[in-house]
Amino acid sequence: MGGHGTPEPMTALGSGPLKGVADVPGDKSISHRSLILGALTVGETRVTGLLEGQDVLDTAKAMEAFGAEVTRVGDGEWSIHGVGTGGFAEPEDVIDCGNSGTGVRLIMGAMATTPITATFTGDASLRTRPMGRITGPLTEFGAASFGRAGGRLPLTIVGTGNPVPVDYTLPVPSAQVKSAVLLAGLNAPGETIVREAEATRDHTERMLRGFGAEVSSEVEKGVRVIRLTGQPELSAQTIAVPRDPSSAAFPVCAALITEGSDVLVPGIGLNPTRAGLYTTLREMGADLTYEKEREEGGEPVADLRARFSPGMMGIEVPPERAASMIDEFPILSVVASFAEGATVMQGVKELRVKESDRIDAMAVGLRANGVAVDETEDTMTVHGLGPKGVPGGGRAEARLDHRIAMSFLCLGMGSERGVSVDDAGPILTSFPIFVPLMERLGASFARDNR
Ligand code: S3P
C-alpha cells in the first residue's frame, strides 16, 4: 500500500469497449478539509461521501491525535466532534501523513497558531517534497519550524500562542499554501490576507464560509485577494462531499481512447477551479457531455458522459489554465498520445514537486510505450499517434504516485499490447476502488508483471 508494503505489479491489457456507469469516490480535497474544519469546530460535524482512501484516513487519524473525536459511522459517513478554533491539543507522537501533501500542509497550518508543538513525517515520496513554502508564511504568524535540509520532513512546528495576522502573496500557485495560511489565520486576531496571481482551487474559502467564517474573495488588478476575519465562531456542519473530478478523469479518459466505449460518471464536482481538464478535452474534440448540471453542497455538479473519440486533435493548453487541472496532466498526456498531432502543456513546472516529478515520470513511461515526448522545466509536449496508434508493450514506474500508476494503466487499456506498472499499490491513496470499477466497465488487468 502506497509505499508501505510490497510492490504490486499490474498490467492493463488492451481493452475492448468500456461501458456502463462509473461511481467514483468522494473528492479528496474536500474530504481532507471536512475533517480538519470539523476538528476545528465545537459540536458534531457529519460528513457523507467522504473519500476513504489512505490519504484521508491519515488525516482522520491526525485529527484524533490533536484531540478531536473522529468516528466512522457507515460507508463514507463520518462524525467529527471538534475542539474549536485554537483548541488543538499537543499530539503525543509524531504525525505520519503517509503520502499526502495536502494532509500534512493543511494540518501544519491548522496547528501553527496554537501554543503546541508537533512533528510531522510521511512516506518516502512525501519526505522529498518541499515544505518551505508552508513554513515560510507560518513563521510570519509567529510559529517556528525545524526541518531537514530544504525544509523536508520530518519537520517540527512550534506553534505560537500570540499569532499576528499576515498579508501573504503566494510565490507559487498552490491551494495547499493558500489553505495553510487561511487555516492558520483562523486563530489569529484581525484580518489574514492571501493574494494569488492564478486562481487555485477554492474549496477552503467556500467551506470556511459554510462553517460561518467571514471570508471575502475579490479580484484586484488581476490578483485574487482573499480576506479572512480571524477567531470566528464556527458552527458544526453537515457536509455532502461531491465525487472527485480528478478521479473521474480516469474512467472518462479511458473511455475516450478505447474503441466502442460509452461511460457515464454521475455526480462529479465541476467547480471551475478544478474543471480545466474537461475544457481541454472538449477543445481537443472529445465526445464528452455534461448532463443534469446542478448544485450539491455548495459545489456545481454534473453527470459526465464520455464516448470513444477517434477524432481528437492535439492542442496548446494555455499556461493560465494549469492550476485548474494541475492533477490531470498525467492522464491528459495519455489522451494526447491518442490524438492527431502535438499537445503542448505549458506552465506546468509545479508537476515536478508532486507525489513524483510527474513530467519526468510520464515522459519516461510514455517513451517506453512508443510515444514521443519533449520536455522543458515548465512544459511537456506529447506527439500523438492517433486513435489506436499507441503500441504499448512496455513497463512504467509508478514512483509511489497514484496518478502515475492509474495513468499508465489507462494507457494500457487504449494500447495494442497493454502496459505494465511496477506498483499499483499507491492507487489506494486516492481511488481505492479503481481496479474493480474499471473491471466492471470492461477493463482487464493481470496482477503479475510481464
Ligand atoms: C490540493 C492542491 C494541489 C493538488 C493536490 C490537492 C488541495 O496541490 O495538486 O492534489 O487539496 O489543496 P498544490 O497546492 O501543491 O498545487
pLDDT in tens, 315-337: 999 999 999 999 999 999 999 99
Q: How far apart are CA 199 and CA 346, in angstroms?
A: 16
Q: What percent of the chain has pLDDT over 90?
A: 96
**Residue pLDDT, tens place only, 80-118:** 999 999 999 999 999 999 999 999 999 999 999 999 999
Q: Is 327 a catalytic residue?
A: yes
Q: Is 176 in the pocket of ligand 1 (CB under 6 A)?
A: yes
Q: Which of 30, 178, 201 to mutate to test the pocket of ligand 1 (most atoms within 8 A of CB)?
A: 201
* Cell numbers found for residue 423: 506498483
pLDDT in tens, 160-186: 999 999 999 999 999 999 999 999 999
Tell me which residue has its CA closest to atom 13 in ligand 1: 174
User: What's the mean pLDDT in 206-231?
Assistant: 97
Residue 431: pLDDT band (50, 70, 90) is very high
Q: How far is the CA of 435 from the centre of ligand 1 (A)?
A: 24
pLDDT in the model for residue 2: 40
Average pLDDT, integer, range 56-74: 98
Query: Grid coordinates standing for 396?
Result: 512504467
pLDDT at 4: 54
**From ligand 1's centre to the CA of 127, what distance in Å?**
16
- Is residue 135 lining ligand 1, measured as CB closer than 6 Å? no
Mutational test site, ligand 1, from 102, 179, 205, 349, max ligand atoms within 8 Å of CB: 102
Residue 191 is predicted with a pLDDT of 98
The ligand 1 atom at the shortest distance from the C-alpha of residue 172 is 16
pLDDT (tens digit, 9 = 90+) per residue, 235-248?
999 999 999 999 99
